[in-house]
């Protein structure tokens, strides 16, 4: 075990274990995780793979795995806990991080970095974004099922760490307007719940027009709310964000020709919301679709499509429900119609 890690991954689940594993050979990394995951890593070690053919296994004895927050003392901390746990993570880190610590929030949602800044005064807290999907296929085996590069709020304090991230195959793209990037990522994350309700691998779901039309409804509503609030949305793909709903509703053959990158996903990849439902965990639907509903309410508006998706996921957390794309599309259109 390294006594003084350079990087701590705080809340090492699927994404955190993957990032920590990729960085392992290039910089001293400590994984702070729950006892259940610590047991898995101590038994199986850490095996990583991606859709480009990358393969790596790290034996359990080579890993630095801890479950206590007081072991999170490091100059750079990557926070990868679920958004519902951000406030608690901030409180725990406040007692152990050095005054000059750098913290990157690699979490879904729009407001986690702000929550951490409030809890960690004096530290450098940066918003980050993980564009790719990571799924635990078997105990200790984590697979990156889609592409993209890590993005982070630009800051000169990151300079010493950039070579390690690049060597690990995780180059950090620095940006000055991370809120716009996070809003763009949120548009794609609106598919997490739809994928979970479809109970299909991501690529199979997105290849079917019916499911894409459900996603298009949620995205159109989100884009309208962002526009009404005068909040810009970054361009993460060759397609402008406001084109996405129209592209999604194209017939299957045309969609496959125009938007092949959206289908460049591992055949077995699924969303984190699907994974949470399978594990019986509470999902992050409140910080994804809920962010749209909350922003709409602040302006005296409604977001009935995204609100209905939240309700359906909450029902699915209690008991599994079988959905077809036709039924879900009808459900979302009815919610939209009732809202006027």
Q: What is the pLDDT of residue 108?
A: 93
Domain containing 301 — which CATH number?
A: 1.10.1040.10
- Kindly tell me the sign of the dihedral angle through the C-alpha atoms of 133, 75, 174, 246: positive
Range of the domain at 107: 7-175
235 closest CA partner among 226, 247, 244: 244
Q: Which of the listed residues 145, 175, 205 is the one where a domain comes to its end?
A: 175
Q: Are residues 92 and 29 in the same domain?
A: yes
Give, as one character, the DSSP assignment of residue 114.
H
Same domain, 21 and 132: yes
Q: Considering the domain boundaries, does residue 1 fall inside one?
A: no
Answer for the pair 305, 200: CB distance below 8 angstroms, yes or no: no
- pLDDT, one tens digit per residue, over 97-144 is 999 999 999 999 999 999 999 999 999 999 999 999 999 989 999 999
* Contact in structure between 183 and 234 (CB atoms under 8 Å): yes
Tokens standing for residue 188: 């794609």
Is 163 in the same domain as 185?
A: no
At residue 260, the pLDDT reads 81
On whether both 148 and 200 belong to a single domain, the answer is no
From 132, 155, 175, give the residue that closes a domain. Answer: 175
Instruction: Flag whether 2 is in a domain.
Output: no
Q: Are residues 204 and 124 in the same domain?
A: no
- Residue 3: what pLDDT? 66
Instruction: Give a yes or no: residue 52 inside a domain.
Output: yes
Residue 190 sits in the same domain as residue 293: yes
> Are residue 119 and residue 189 in the same domain, yes or no?
no
CATH of the domain at 144: 3.40.50.720
Q: How many CA atoms lie within 13 A of 88 on its CB side?
A: 9
Pick from 147, 175, 203: which residue ends a domain?
175
Q: Does some domain include residue 71?
A: yes
Q: Would you say residue 324 lies in a domain?
A: yes
Establish if 325 belongs to a structural domain: yes
Tell me, yes or no, whether 84 and 108 share the same domain: yes
Residue that the structure tokens 């990087």 belong to: 7
CA distances, 295 to each of 68, 230, 265 (Å): 36, 12, 31
269 near 146, Cβ under 8 Å? yes
- Whether residues 258 and 155 share a domain: the answer is no
DSSP tag of 185: H
- Mark whether 95 and 131 lie in a shared domain: yes
Residue 64 lies in a domain: yes
Same domain membership, residue 262 and residue 243: yes
Output the pTM of the full model: 0.92
Going across the sheet that includes 55-58, the strands are 55-58, 46-50, 141-144, 134-138
Count of domains in the chain? 2
Q: Please report whether residue 28 resides in a domain.
A: yes
Kindly state whether residues 143 and 67 are assigned to the same domain.
yes
Residues of the chain with pLDDT below 70 are 1-3
């Amino acid at each position: 075990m390294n006594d003084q890690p350079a990087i701590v991954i705080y809340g090492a689940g699927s994404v955190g274990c993957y990032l920590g594993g990729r960085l392992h050979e290039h910089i001293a990394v400590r994984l702070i995780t729950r006892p259940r995951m610590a047991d898995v890593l101590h038994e199986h070690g850490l095996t990583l793979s991606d859709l480009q053919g990358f393969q790596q296994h790290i034996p359990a004895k080579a890993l630095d795995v801890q479950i206590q927050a007081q072991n999170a003392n490091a100059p750079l901390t990557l926070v990868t806990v679920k958004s519902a746990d951000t406030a608690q993570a901030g409180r725990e880190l406040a007692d152990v991080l050095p005054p000059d610590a750098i913290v990157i929030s690699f979490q879904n949602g729009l407001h986690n970095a702000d929550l951490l800044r409030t809890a960690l005064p004096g530290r450098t807290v940066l918003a980050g974004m993980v564009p790719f999907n990571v799924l635990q296929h078997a105990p200790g085996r984590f697979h990156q099922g889609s592409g993209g590069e890590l993005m982070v709020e630009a800051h000169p304090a990151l300079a010493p760490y950039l070579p390690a991230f690049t060597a690990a195959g995780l180059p950090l793209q620095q940006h000055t307007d991370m809120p716009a990037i996070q809003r763009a990522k949120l548009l794609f994350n609106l598919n997490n719940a739809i994928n979970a309700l479809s109970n299909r691998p991501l690529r199979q779901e997105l290849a079917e027009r019916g499911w894409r039309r459900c996603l298009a409804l949620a995205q159109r509503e989100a884009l309208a709310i962002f526009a009404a609030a005068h909040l810009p949305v970054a361009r993460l793909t060759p397609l402008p964000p406001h084109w996405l709903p129209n592209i999604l509703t194209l017939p299957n053959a045309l969609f496959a020709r125009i938007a092949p990158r959206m289908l460049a996903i591992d055949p077995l990849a699924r969303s984190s919301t699907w994974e949470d439902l399978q594990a019986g965990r509470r999902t992050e639907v409140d910080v994804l679709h809920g962010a749209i509903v909350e922003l709409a309410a602040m302006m005296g508006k409604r977001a009935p499509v995204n609100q209905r998706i939240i309700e359906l996921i909450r029902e699915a957390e209690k008991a599994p429900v079988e959905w077809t794309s036709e039924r879900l599309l009808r459900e979302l259109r009815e919610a939209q119609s009732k809202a006027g």
